[in-house]
Amino acid sequence: MAAIKFILNGKPHTVDVVPRMPLLWVLRDTLGLTGTKFGCGMALCGACTVHVDGQAMRSCVTPVASVAGKKIITIEGLSPDGSHPVQRAWVAEEVSQCGYCQPGQIMTAVALLEKTPNPTDADIDEVMRNNICRCGTYQALRKAVHLAAELRAKGEGHA
């Protein structure tokens, strides 16, 4: 066990856990932030995606010790009220069905737009192909990423 410090959704946190413990389980079981999902445990599905210092990371294979001192954003911290352009686009395009993979999809899309503000379909494919959805929301999801890019360009909504 070791005390590990990081900034989570803008607030400093200290956890006393086994350093190898994946960030996913620290978030879910230790801190009770359950918006970040377990899907595969091997970085194969993207459901656990969070941002570490602005980079999309698979929290299921990220030892908590490796994020010491870093800034972590989870789906709960993306916006105070669901108003991030990507979240707004997800509402407008009615992306979610069961919704389980969507926090990971949204976090991946946010990181994509940070790097590529006006992505092509090919840009979306390249990044989003690593996030699995079993409900088949891909068509709506693609539209939502394009819409989010527009909202972002217009400066609408949070961030």
- Which positions touch other proteins (CB under 8 A)? 1, 17-18, 21-22, 25, 28-30, 32-42, 44-45, 47, 74-76, 78-79, 81-82, 87, 90-91, 94-103, 106, 124-126, 128-142
φ, ψ of residue 67 to 5 degrees: the values are: -105, 10
Least gap, CB of 20 to other proteins (angstroms): 8
The residue among 52 and 140 lying less far from other proteins, judged by its C-beta, is 140
Least gap, CB of 39 to other proteins (angstroms): 6
Least gap, CB of 135 to other proteins (angstroms): 5
Strand (E) positions, 2-147? 2-8, 11-17, 49-52, 55-58, 71-73
Least gap, CB of 154 to other proteins (angstroms): 19
The residue among 6 and 137 lying less far from other proteins, judged by its C-beta, is 137
Structure tokens at 123: 């840009």
DSSP 39: S
Is the Cα dihedral 131, 144, 127, 61 positive or negative?
negative
Least gap, CB of 46 to other proteins (angstroms): 10
